[in-house]
Chain A
């Protein structure tokens, strides 16, 4: 349905996006995962026809959109990272304006406004000015505005940045419903691994302008088939012990938190004997140990040596 072919964007000496090829099939939900500065937003801007690529192509239904972006714009609903709304207008007035831009009018316009407001759960507060909404509510209207023209593909660029957990869950649930129940194709960009993991069937992982891995969640996690992550919790913080454990031979990566430690080790490595020995030496009490299933965060870590938050 939507394909990019070796999409590249160069700003002076900076290669923001480097030969990125993506594909979205009808009805699927695809994640674009990567840390800040990975080139996700630039790639989204090119796919949305808002930024001209330095090279490469974007195709919708097999047709290039570079010369005539109209075909792409008709089927795309874009939810930008910023709140692209008029703060001095109400949610209703914003949606009415954007709906009219897409040629809607009269009863059809009112019906569509009613539908998208119901979808984002703001029907009862539609008359309030957007500037009086919480960040989460503004994000929901931001999504509603992109839905006004009944797009086939929804492109979302970090739609949950800076919002409270409740609004975040509401937004994620709305996107899940759109994809699962209405068959909408979704391209979801985020640096929150758990969001992509929850929403997306397939994932592209981007770093420094390039796609460094792609596949279903299971395929990506299979990259870590020779590894496992051990999570150990202690009664209190033991900085010296944590350092010692991180330096045990075979430990590939250590993530230290206040009272816990996450170690990435080769599958089959005998860690527990050394762990309890060192804990006893430091007078520490281990309160919990378990082996975690690999996450996309672990995959990113394995591929880049950095976490998504770095």
Chain B
């Protein structure tokens, strides 16, 4: 067994292509995604801060007056006319918008400055601001008409964003859409309920963070690590195919060693490589990006436990791939796995994007992949280091590993058709 392990690890260390795939690639992706998407994750909104010009082309007083005039012409009882006029005056959609933008929650993200259209467009061109919000002429009138009488259309805002401002502009669009939707919807509710005293914005701003206490580096270190450990399976299977093609496998068989020793050595080598790979990725990420706390032994013990279980499961996956590769006598198995299956497993396992918004079926499938279950275990441990919460994902990782091992034993050509 020792001879096999030493040989497999030496071969891997001398294979630059595999080393790039297993170590350099995930680390590069952690760095790129960690830096570029750090604003998407909570507690790290600096990257999303923006300067926005506000152009108000709407005359609020005039809008209110026009709505009040139209109430006069409706022939309503005097008491109702009075109530509606007061409602029009107090609702003030423009004020609601400025209140929203000045709120503590938004002002930390968006710095608003009122300016004229020409100056705003000039600044946008010069990229000294990121976007322009335009409150168009007739905004107040449209909003009040929708609010009080249910007139179609409702209030509309305009947004001009600088080229390449995404994801900043996406965030701003989402804030404004939420405001307009809330304004129109809430006012409809108010009208139906006959409550014309005040119109409150009840919706607020949609939370755009998925995990409150997780940084982008933490997310992508874990998600890339659990994705790239799968490449160990294809690397080990590729080596087995090479051994078969070069007849080294036959030479090994001639040594009269039990055939299952070969298979088990591949599984153990894969598990050992995965353990080292995870250790290096977590360690380097922590060292260079301060991804995880270094002073918590309990935290690292939990990470180690999950890593060991994941490594064993990937070892079983590698054994399955080796058995299948030797059975079909082709390198198509590792090629298909690394070119397509891993991406698919990474997607359903949540390595690319959080699965919160995904359909239930995808989340269920993902939770039964070794990478998806491990991702869930790592996140769970990070957010709430309670060992009981790990039992579910760890049990799933083990179950999948057992299935792979059973399939490997069934497929492995113990005699290879020979005597």
Contacts and interface: CB of A to CB of B under 8 A. Distances in A.
B11 A88 contact: yes
Contact of A49 (B7, B251, B418): B418
Interface in B227-260: 246-248, 250-257
A80 B417 contact: no
Contacts, number: 78
A73 to B, nearest CB: 4
B14 interface: yes
Contacts of B256: 69-70, 73-74
A276 interface: no
Query: From DSSP, what is the main secondary structure of chain A's interface residues?
Result: loop
A178 interface: no
B419 interface: yes
Interface stretch (A96-104, A182-190, A267-275): A96-104
Interface size class of A (residues with CB under 8 A): 35 or more
A80 B255 contact: no
A163 to B, nearest CB: 17
B10 A93 contact: yes
A135 B3 CA distance: 26
B15 interface: yes
B14 A98 contact: no
Interface size class of B (residues with CB under 8 A): 20 to 34
A124 B256 CA distance: 31
A37 B372 CA distance: 51
B419 to A, nearest CB: 5
Contacts of A149: 255
Nearest to A71: B256
Interface stretch (A50-58, A202-210, A281-289, A294-302): A50-58
Contacts of A74: 256
A73 B419 CA distance: 11
Interface string A56-74: 0010000001100110011
A45 B419 CA distance: 10
Interface string B3-14: 100110011001
Contacts of A73: 254-256
A141 to B, nearest CB: 12
A69 B247 CA distance: 18
Contact of A101 (B11, B15, B257): B257
16 contacts: A49-B254, A51-B417, A52-B419, A53-B419, A74-B256, A78-B250, A78-B251, A86-B11, A89-B10, A89-B14, A93-B7, A93-B10, A100-B2, A100-B3, A101-B3, A149-B255
Interface of A: 45-46, 48-53, 58, 65-66, 69-70, 73-74, 76, 78, 80, 82-89, 93, 96-98, 100-102, 145-146, 149
Interface of B: 2-3, 6-7, 10-11, 14-15, 246-248, 250-257, 415-419
